[in-house]
Structure 1
Amino acid sequence: MIRKRVLVVDDSAFMRKMISDIIRSSDSLECVDTARNGEDALKKIEKWKPDVITLDVEMPIKDGIQTLTEIMEQNPLPIVMLSSLTKSGADKTIEALSLGAVDVIAKPSGSISLDIKKIETEIIRKVKNAATANVKLTKKRTSERVQASYKPIQSDKPIVAIGSSTGGPRALQQVITKLPADFQAPVVIVQHMPKGFTKSLAERLDKLSLLAVKEAEDQDVIEKGKVYLAPGGKHFRIIRRGQQMVASVTREEPVNGHQPSVDVLFDSVANLKSCHPIAVVLTGMGSDGSKGIIQLKRNHPKTIAISQSEATCVVYGMPQAAEKTSLIDYVHDIDDIHTVLVQKIPKKR
């Protein structure tokens, strides 16, 4: 097996040693070098030509955002951000993901981070996944451009449910920020992301969007024209309370290795009475969401299921698994998905 070459970038000598030791413990990864800041990293990228980079957010001389921006402009590479769980760290990490970083790993708490061994499995898994990511997305369109008008659904109770993972924050931005202010459906989202980062993602989407976007809280009333993002580390369901749809946010066991889980959200929407679901599966590793699509179609045969095209996915796993159910109605490039949603949702009467 040819090992994937990894460059570890962190201003802490302790963290560089710990992370590089973890990388070297994997049979499929090789730590070729470490760098102490962005300037050092750019030189070593030229020297080693790594397959993947782990990049600290907060560094002197040239920080993670500046470094990431230069890498993505000059020669895009899969980058996994390592960030503290401070508000500043989370905000910068979400910015990094919107600029093309593949994933994020939350640094363990503590001044010296002696408990980093606790996330050894996560580091190896996310770095290995990143090595398969498509960061040089093709400009060629593989799905037909949305030009023909789609007939609006015959329902006044649509609900849009979206699932995404690796590469998802950037994809969500491309969908949510293009929806109009008078969008006549609620939007509920599961994005695989560690606890502590989803609030920053919701705040960023809220600032960039015409719709109000928030991190979902237990008992939130789900209203049309608003977007609700599952909090990291908790499952997110939609339940009925009288005539209202309400958020149920709970900490449980992971499903498909994830909490929140797309399948959990989709299953909950499938169990709603008197609604017309539109399910969207975006870029991500694994198959979370595909079982939920089956359940949605079983309970609501008129469910519209949309997946992101392979050419525009950072990782094609989740959309591919959804498509293998043979229940996907439309496959579209990320730039077109909002158009389908807008055309399918009936206008305000």
Structure 2
Amino acid sequence: MSGQIRVLVVDDSALIRDVLSRTLARDGDILVVGTAQDPLDARDKIKALNPDVVTLDIEMPNMNGLAFLQKIMRLRPMPVVMVSTLTTKGASETMLALELGAVDFVAKPRADGEGGGIEAFGSILREKVRFAAQSDVQARAHRAPTPDLPIKTAAAPLGAVIAIGASTGGVEAIRQVLSSIPADCPPILIAQHMPKGFTARFAARLDELVPVRVVEAQDRMLLEKGTAYVAPGDYHLRVEKSSGQMKCRVTQDETTSGHRPSVDVLFHSVAKVAGPMAVGAILTGMGRDGANGLKAMREAGAFTIGQAEGSALIYGMPKVAFEVGAVVEEAAVEKIAARLVAALSKIKAAA
């Protein structure tokens, strides 16, 4: 029993509670200590059972999942994985859940079997719960950010680009970085591990919150200053240069580092096309995706930065990047925008 991840499943459907419980218990390293049919039931069971991770539905009676999540993060911060419906409304609510402090989310299996059905869903759910159990939710909840003074300009010469990669915890980390980057910045390319159906809403939500324009990348879209391009779920994003213009390339070739979109794929393309005209950041996430690509960027003359351990929800991807020599420096998430902009200003001086 020791070493097992203790999970409380919260969903108003008895069928879904049963499916989630059996799915989670499959590999033996996760123990479902209880289930709850609504937030009031869950509140009592969190106190009694002290789970390591909670899986939480959004649509429930008595109190919806978002309101309950807000209470959890205020009163007893702990790792929460949202179990979301793959709809436009579900995607919007999921983005809000991540802003409120949920570690991650998984989309419920669709009736038509798209996305691999129950087997694929179960594998992803178990992986997300394992990642959540290793996350530092308490530290994030109690950190007091000390952002730098507002950045006045991020102007850079034509051909400069910013590349950002992240996984678990990245939705909020990317928002924090983009919030401090002025709208005169060079094009920003983003690879965030996220399934199909959610990245359009992620881009739209960022577009509402940050100074730069944010869009979901489309194939052969021209790169423009003041605009951030988010890799679509289940597609790789690369940058290419043709006829003197930089463009997005969006393709569905094989997964890289186990992911599509892959941070490595994006970073390698940036290293090749932009070289010393690029700056790159690797943010919170589990695994090693992005480390080799960021190293290629550094070796091509780009400034590279990793999110520091005390600041990252999961210090996995930034840790590997640091260990392989891919990052010039590490910094807390609220300092990363200023470091990227400072590096851009040096490109300007050298151009």
* Counterpart in the other structure of 2:161: 159
* Counterpart in the other structure of 1:247: 248
* Counterpart in the other structure of 2:183: 181
Letter paired with 1:131: A
Whether 1:329 aligns to 2:328 is yes
Q: Is the 8 A contact 1:159 1:275 kept in 2?
A: no
* Counterpart in the other structure of 1:67: 68
Runs of 4 or more consecutive aligned structure 1 residues displaced over 4 Å after TM superposition? 111-114, 138-142, 144-147, 152-156
* Counterpart in the other structure of 1:344: 343
Separation of aligned partners in 2, 1:316 and 1:227: 24
Q: Which consecutive unaligned segments of at least 5 residues does structure 1 have?
A: none
Following superposition, the deviation at residue 293 of structure 1 comes to 1.6
CA spacing shift, 1:314–1:140, aligned 2, 3 Å: closer
Q: Is the 8 A contact 2:8 2:32 kept in 1?
A: yes
Separation of aligned partners in 1, 2:274 and 2:183: 26
Separation of aligned partners in 1, 2:216 and 2:77: 30
Following superposition, the deviation at residue 199 of structure 1 comes to 0.9
Separation of aligned partners in 1, 2:274 and 2:64: 50
Separation of aligned partners in 1, 2:159 and 2:238: 17
Whether 1:235 aligns to 2:236 is yes
* Counterpart in the other structure of 1:116: 118
Following superposition, the deviation at residue 102 of structure 1 comes to 0.7
Of Structure 1 and Structure 2, which has the larger fraction of its residues in helix? 2
Following superposition, the deviation at residue 241 of structure 1 comes to 1.5
Separation of aligned partners in 2, 1:213 and 1:121: 31
Percentage of matched positions with identical amino acids: 40
CA spacing shift, 1:59–1:279, aligned 2, 3 Å: same
Whether 1:79 aligns to 2:80 is yes
Following superposition, the deviation at residue 154 of structure 1 comes to 8.5
Secondary structure in 1 matching 2:203: helix
Secondary structure in 2 matching 1:254: coil
Following superposition, the deviation at residue 273 of structure 1 comes to 5.1
Q: Is the 8 A contact 1:5 1:51 kept in 2?
A: yes
Letter paired with 1:128: R
Separation of aligned partners in 2, 1:7 and 1:79: 10
Q: Is the 8 A contact 1:18 1:116 kept in 2?
A: no
Whether 1:276 aligns to 2:277 is yes
Q: Is the 8 A contact 1:12 1:36 kept in 2?
A: yes
* Counterpart in the other structure of 1:127: 129
CA spacing shift, 1:11–1:310, aligned 2, 3 Å: same
Question: Which moves more between the two structures, 315-324 or 335-344?
Answer: 335-344
CA spacing shift, 1:159–1:94, aligned 2, 3 Å: same
Q: Is the 8 A contact 1:54 1:80 kept in 2?
A: yes
Q: Is the 8 A contact 2:160 2:274 kept in 1?
A: no
Letter paired with 2:321: A
Separation of aligned partners in 2, 1:91 and 1:145: 27
Note the alpha carbon deviations across 1:254-278, whole angstroms, 9 max, x for none.
1111100000000111111576111
* Counterpart in the other structure of 1:30: 31
Q: Which consecutive unaligned segments of at least 5 residues does structure 2 have?
A: none
Separation of aligned partners in 2, 1:104 and 1:260: 17
Secondary structure in 1 matching 2:83: strand
Give me the TM-score of the superposition, normalised by structure 1. Answer: 0.92
Note the alpha carbon deviations across 1:191-213, whole angstroms, 9 max, x for none.
00111111111011000111110
Q: How many residues align?
A: 342
Following superposition, the deviation at residue 181 of structure 1 comes to 2.1
Letter paired with 1:81: M
Following superposition, the deviation at residue 118 of structure 1 comes to 3.3
Following superposition, the deviation at residue 294 of structure 1 comes to 2.0
Separation of aligned partners in 1, 2:155 and 2:202: 30
Q: Is the 8 A contact 1:237 1:268 kept in 2?
A: yes
Separation of aligned partners in 2, 1:112 and 1:157: 43
Following superposition, the deviation at residue 117 of structure 1 comes to 3.2
CA spacing shift, 1:145–1:324, aligned 2, 3 Å: farther
Secondary structure in 1 matching 2:27: coil
Secondary structure in 2 matching 1:136: helix
Q: Is the 8 A contact 1:99 1:170 kept in 2?
A: no
Letter paired with 1:73: R
Note the alpha carbon deviations across 1:233-288, whole angstroms, 9 max, x for none.
11111111211111111112211111000000001111115761111000000011
* Counterpart in the other structure of 1:19: 20
Separation of aligned partners in 2, 1:24 and 1:335: 38
